Amino acid sequence: MKSKLLSLTAAALLLLVGCDSLSGQQTSNDGRINAVTTVGMITDIIQQIGGEYVNVNGLMGPGIDPHLYRPTARNVQTLQNADIIFRGGLNLEGKMGEIFDRLNEQITVVAMAQDIPESELLDFPAYPGHFDPHIWFDVSLWAMGVNTAAEALAEIDPAHAETYAANAASYLQRLSALDAYITEAIATIPEAQRVMITAHDAFQYFGRRYNIQVAGLQGISTEAEAGVQDVQNLVSFIVDRQIPAIFVESSVPARTLEAVQEAARAQGWDVTIPAQLFSDAPGNAGTGEGTYIGMVLHNVAAITIGLGGTMPDLPDALADYHDVIERAVSA
Ligand SMILES: [Zn+2]
């Protein structure tokens, strides 16, 4: 019944847009490909690959939760006017599936995850029967998405295919440096403390790729709300293992983890909450943290320093992000 309602809503919105189009509204055409993206990580990638030939319109800004995002009528119009649409896939944009299905009849809709083999995907306990959509925290998986996006752009704009391939290749070199750097940074955390405790379930791929245990209240309990027993179990775990830090994300309320922090203090163990992590959206556009690489490096710095590791020197390919690390560490 829910999906029927959604599909009616989508149909109504598309009808509305149809009326608007009849009233004479046209997209301006400067000869560039008109790409529409969902989350900020994808917006950044398409800008990197598309360069001067692609106009990128990102629907979701900083702090937006893609799982719950409902497109506005204006968003639907923007999507309808696109030459190509890029989304995360794996149900990341949980409330937009119907609209993408409809648009896909006329417009190329690309999912960043579409070429990743199922064997590489993790189950998503929050939505049983679905794969975990947070693939961007394994840089090697996200790199597959970059290739997918570059090929899709080349297909709809063959005249600039060489440029897209070259842009993607140079960006992928930076991602390869990033992937190696994260492995190196996380490995500096003393092994007993290499545990990342968060309130959100966005970091399973990160944990698998970079060899750090990921634990959360919601991972311990299948209930949506963490119970008193969950909090007590987590506090005992933190105190026993002497975990120095726990982590809060930009799109999740801090309250639950602050309660854990207080309970640990009551048992004589001082656990810190370092700089907020980015989970499902990067920082403000125009800042280092507003890029995919910057958001990941911010998280890595907060996690590594928070858990007692040290940040290795940045490789030349990532030298632009020195300030991002400084800010994360001093926050
Ligand atoms: Zn998420």
CATH classification of the domain holding 21: 3.40.50.1980
Would you state the pLDDT for residue 19? Answer: 38
Spacing, Cα 33 to ligand 1 middle (Å): 29
Spacing, Cα 266 to ligand 1 middle (Å): 31
What tens digit of pLDDT does each residue of 34-87 get?
Answer: 999 999 999 999 999 999 999 999 999 998 889 999 999 999 999 999 999 999
**Does 157 share its domain with 10?**
yes
DSSP structural state of residue 198: E
Residue 103, domain member (yes or no): yes
Euclidean distance between CA atoms 58 and 331, whole angstroms = 28
Spacing, Cα 144 to ligand 1 middle (Å): 20
Given a contact cutoff of 8 angstroms between Cβ atoms, the answer to whether 30 and 55 are in contact is yes
Spacing, Cα 219 to ligand 1 middle (Å): 13
Segments forming the whole domain that contains residue 22 = 2-174
What tens digit of pLDDT does each residue of 90-139 get?
Answer: 999 999 999 999 999 999 999 999 999 999 999 987 788 899 999 999 99
Residue 179, domain member (yes or no): no
Spacing, Cα 30 to ligand 1 middle (Å): 35
Spacing, Cα 288 to ligand 1 middle (Å): 21
Spacing, Cα 65 to ligand 1 middle (Å): 7
Chosen domain end from 118, 139, 174: 174
Euclidean distance between CA atoms 36 and 300, whole angstroms = 29
**Does 154 share its domain with 209?**
no
The pTM (predicted TM-score) of the whole model is 0.88
Residue 267, domain member (yes or no): yes
% of the chain surpassing 90 pLDDT: 74
% of the chain surpassing 70 pLDDT: 87
**Does 9 share its domain with 104?**
yes
Spacing, Cα 240 to ligand 1 middle (Å): 29
Spacing, Cα 123 to ligand 1 middle (Å): 13
Chosen domain end from 146, 174, 202: 174
Q: Residue 247's beta-bridge partner residues? A: 198
Residue 278 scores a pLDDT above 70: yes
Would you state the pLDDT for residue 15? Answer: 44
What tens digit of pLDDT does each residue of 219-274 get?
Answer: 443 344 556 777 888 899 999 999 999 998 876 667 778 888 999 999 999 999 99
Residue 3 scores a pLDDT above 50: no
**Does 165 share its domain with 208?**
no
The secondary structure of 112-159 as a DSSP string is TTTTS-GGGPPB-TTSTTSB---GGGSHHHHHHHHHHHHHHHHHH-GG
**Does 15 share its domain with 154?**
yes
Chosen domain end from 174, 208, 232: 174
Report the number of distinct structural domains present in the chain. Answer: 2
**Does 146 share its domain with 203?**
no
Spacing, Cα 200 to ligand 1 middle (Å): 7
What tens digit of pLDDT does each residue of 151-177 get?
Answer: 999 999 999 999 999 999 999 999 999
